[in-house]
Amino acid sequence: MEFVKAHGTGNDFVVVEDLTDRYDLTPELVRAICDRHFGVGADGVIRIATGTEAPFFMDYRNADGSLAEMCGNGVRVVGKYLGDRGYVAGAFDLETRAGVKRLELHADNRGGIDRVTVDMGPPTLEGERTVEVDGESVTATCLSMGNPHAVVFVDDVDKAPVTTLGPRLETHPAFLPAKTNVEFAQVVDRATVRQRTWERGVGETLACGTGACAVAVAAQVRGLAGRPLALELRGGRLDLDWTPGGTVRMTGPAREVAHGTLTDEFLASAR
């Protein structure tokens, strides 16, 4: 099984091209691939397959082996992969479990794809929700970008309890059975928001594209920021633009860092 290691603002993936449906990505295999000590190491695995509603389909799995509806950083990585290899050019449609997304490819001065704009579709607003965690009330702005998000605004994102409160909210009874991604957001000014994410099925990641979309929408809905909006994540910057009633457009980088082949021994041990 040949693969490419890639990332979007530090949110990293193992990408497998499978246009002839050769591979069965079992949860056990995905967990083994994503293991940072005994596997390749990644936040998730992306299998690029043939689509039914668009030419290509992004089959995305979280690091724990679970299926995910959408991944905003992953979708940009897929755009770069397909564009750099001549499968697509300019703009194209990509099928995901959250529907068909429109991607626009931007090349650098060497001709390689270095940034991708994605029409992420409209958000589904669910309003504010207050839940009890260890006797304390936590208020989150909840919405879906094809996958669920709970946005918690904080004064200092560096001091936010991402690794403690994040998993408690992810699996809180209020968000079951699907669980939720949790964003901690700090408004810097009307045009800038800092963000950290506890990603469902993964843990804290350096970036979350759908999470950045959720934060941008939540900040505007609550009157805390305007548009367009720069989201500063630990892995880099994403640019978001949303008009109420419309779709969210996200622009950000995509990078490939390595390619290789998974050995037969590894594949056999992961089954």
Residues that are catalytic: 71, 208
Run of H or E including 170: helix 162-170
The count of other CB atoms within 10 Å of the CB of residue 228 is 13
**b or e along 153-188 (b: 16 or more beta carbons within 10 Å of the residue's beta carbon)?**
bbeebeebebeebbbebbebeebeeebbbbbbbbbe
Question: Taking the alpha carbons of 111, 50, 102, 170 in that order, is the dihedral positive or negative?
Answer: negative
Gyration radius (Cα) of the chain, Å: 18
Which residues have a Cβ under 8 Å from the Cβ of 16 and sit 6 or more positions away? 1, 2, 3, 23, 25, 45, 46, 47, 48
- Name which of 82, 239, 168 is nearest 92 in CA terms: 82
Q: Which two tokens stand for residue 188?
A: 């810097």
Ramachandran region, residue 163 (left: φ > 0; alpha: ψ -120 to 50; beta: rest): alpha
